[in-house]
Amino acid sequence: MARHSLATTVTLSNGEPIKTVSKMLGHNKLSTTQIYAKVIERKVGEDMELL
């Protein structure tokens, strides 16, 4: 659960690239990190505002 929280709440929702998060978690494959990385609605809204 801590790994999921780190991936979603701490890193990805604060704009950290998924490849960086993957390395931080020690994953060899990006697809492994994607399991932990769900898209957060707030983040989608913020990213769209930047466009």
Cβ-contact 26, 36 below 8 angstroms: no
Rounded alpha-carbon distances, angstroms, from residue 34 to 7, 13, 22, 50: 9, 14, 9, 23
In the chain, where are the structural domains located? 2-50
Q: What pTM was computed for the model?
A: 0.65
Per-residue burial over 6-35, b if 16 or more Cβ lie within 10 Å, else e, is ebbeebbeeeeeeeebbeebebeeeeebee
Cβ neighbors of 26 (< 8 A, separation 6 or more) are: none
* pLDDT single digits (tens) 7-51: 777 888 788 888 998 898 899 998 888 877 766 777 777 888 888
